[in-house]
Structure 1
Amino acid sequence: MNVPNALAVFRIVLVPIYLAVFFSSYEHHITVAYLILVLAGITDVADGYIARKYKLVTAIGKMLDPLADKLMMIAVILSFLLSDRISIWAASVFFFRDIAMIVLSAFFHFRGKQTVPANIFGKVTTVLFYIVFTMIMFKIPYGEMMLWAVIVFSFLTSAIYLSKFLLLNKDWNEKSTP
């Protein structure tokens, strides 16, 4: 296992730790949970940078990295929902998109289809989510309204990824059409 993949696995391990800290009764639990979230973000940037710079991109890494990101995002949204920081509607739309992305990515990966590398839209979406998560975690006004804006942007980003996926796998699409 190379360093970028180990960092992705580390991010997956951070998910239950984040949840345990967020829901603990420790006096500064929100601040510590936030620091865990920031650590996850830093390791996400680091593993991508290291993988590309040192040519350590692997097939398993292409699956682990987005999976680690999605699991942490889902955990954060779940913690916000259960602590009444966001509405069930915002959480439901968020969950629908992220779970659909995980399932579709796994489905196509195991069918041997090429995956779309991260692009600027995905990176901007992630940064925007982290900004909104900060607002919601510390109950900064308009956090949920901003969350809705980023969710809409994330659906646009998903549409871009889907169109790139279809173009990348055009030969497969033509063979599967009767």
Structure 2
Amino acid sequence: MFRFEKYNIADWFSFYRILAVPLLLAFVWYGERTLFTWFLLVSYSTDAIDGFLARKLKIVSARGSQLDSVGDQITLIMGLIGLIVFEIAFMKANYGLILLAFIPYILQMIIAFVIYGKTTAFHTYLAKTSALLQGVFILWLLFFGPVYWLFYTMIIIGILETIEEISLIYMYPHWVKDVKGIFWALKDDRRTIRKKTVKKNGV
């Protein structure tokens, strides 16, 4: 049963990104590029707000991290839908590079669901950088047009982030949240403790 009191203010900012999907799809359907772009900007802005509030109010939780990740992924998908509809010429001209970055991302999602049964919530530094670049590029393209150095940077960082994400999935046999990156994972007790437990149980 859904209980409102279970969710804090940071969670509701994450929920906004999910609940905004029908509205964004309606703007796409009716060809309202300007409204779509402004509301997509609001969705991207809530990503920064919920993380800030969670840390500031010390209400970070596994549930909140998962909601944040789902909200991020849905917002990215909506951004891509917007580009396919409103910037089809750019998408066709650069579909090779876009697929080069997007296919590994889908693979990472599949691996996460197979191993964890849900999406990851590592929130690495590289993931945050990649998400920022994606948001800035998509919004800039929709508002003003393409900036190719930003596009290429976004693709490179996105591929590196996906490789790191897949590596972390295999480093952590159980779901964990908030891992800064591979360097920090190597020293993370959550990974080593799990290994000892698995070995002790003879699995």
Counterpart of 1:11 in structure 2 is 17
SS of residue paired to 1:56: coil
> How big is the alpha-carbon RMSD for the aligned residues of Structure 1 and Structure 2?
3.0
State the one-letter code of the partner of 1:56: I
Q: Provide closer, same or farther for how the CA distance between residues 19 and 110 of structure 1 changes in structure 2, counting only shifts above 3 A.
A: same
Q: Distance in 2 between the 1:159 and 1:101 partners?
A: 8
By how many angstroms is 1:134 displaced? 2.3
SS of residue paired to 2:20: helix
Residue 131 (structure 2) pairs with residue 126 (structure 1): yes
Q: Provide closer, same or farther for how the CA distance between residues 74 and 61 of structure 1 changes in structure 2, counting only shifts above 3 A.
A: same
State the one-letter code of the partner of 1:130: G
Residue 151 of structure 2: which of 132, 147, 154 is its match? 147
SS of residue paired to 2:128: helix
Q: Distance in 2 between the 1:15 and 1:23 partners?
A: 12
Q: Distance in 1 between the 2:46 and 2:82 partners?
A: 21
SS of residue paired to 2:26: helix
Contact 1:74/1:98 (<8 A) preserved: no
Residue 99 of structure 2: which of 78, 84, 92 is its match? 92
Task: State the TM-score, normalizing by the size of structure 1.
Answer: 0.77
Residue 82 (structure 2) pairs with residue 75 (structure 1): no
Which blocks of at least 5 consecutive residues in structure 1 are unaligned? none
Q: Distance in 1 between the 2:121 and 2:36 partners?
A: 32
CA shift digits 1:16-43 (9 cap, x unpaired) = 3212213314xxx222111111111111
By how many angstroms is 1:146 displaced? 3.8
What is the total number of aligned residue pairs between the two structures? 171
Q: Distance in 2 between the 1:89 and 1:16 partners?
A: 29
Residue 154 (structure 2) pairs with residue 157 (structure 1): no
Q: Distance in 2 between the 1:101 and 1:9 partners?
A: 23
Q: Distance in 1 between the 2:121 and 2:21 partners?
A: 24
Question: What percentage of aligned pairs have identical amino acids?
Answer: 19
Q: Distance in 2 between the 1:44 and 1:140 partners?
A: 23
| Structure number with bigger Rg | 2
Counterpart of 1:60 in structure 2 is 63
Q: Provide closer, same or farther for how the CA distance between residues 55 and 105 of structure 1 changes in structure 2, counting only shifts above 3 A.
A: farther
State the one-letter code of the partner of 1:20: A
Q: Distance in 1 between the 2:124 and 2:29 partners?
A: 34
Which blocks of at least 5 consecutive residues in structure 2 are unaligned? 1-6, 172-184
By how many angstroms is 1:162 displaced? 3.9
Counterpart of 1:35 in structure 2 is 38
